[in-house]
Amino acid sequence: MTTPLYALIGFVFWTVFLVVSIGTVRSYLVMTGSAVPNGFDSGTRHGGDAYWRLNRAHINCLENLPIFASLVLVAAVIGAQSTTLDNLARVIVIARVGQSLAHISSGSATAVKLRFTFFLAQVVSFCWFAIWLVV
Q: What type of residue sits at position 4? A: P
CA-angle at 83, arms to 61 and 127, nearest 5°: 45
List Cα–Cα distances, 39 to 17, 30, 33, 34, 46, in angstroms.
22, 9, 11, 10, 8
User: Is it the case that residue 43 has pLDDT exceeding 80?
Assistant: no
User: Is it the case that residue 21 has pLDDT exceeding 80?
Assistant: yes
Q: How many domains does the chain have?
A: 1
Q: For the chain, give the percent of residues with pLDDT over 90.
A: 85
User: Could you list the residue range(s) of the whole structural domain that residue 23 is in?
Assistant: 3-134
Distance CA 130, CA 11 (A): 18
| Whole-structure pTM value | 0.92
Q: What is the pLDDT of residues 57-103, one digit of tens each?
A: 999 999 999 999 999 999 999 999 999 999 999 999 999 999 999 99
What CATH number is attached to the domain comprising 76?
Answer: 1.20.120.550
Distance CA 114, CA 78 (A): 35
List Cα–Cα distances, 37 to 34, 51, 135, in angstroms.
10, 16, 51
Band (35; pLDDT cuts 50, 70, 90):
confident
Q: What type of residue sits at position 119? A: F
Mean pLDDT of 117-121: 98
Q: 43 by DSSP, 3-state: which?
A: coil
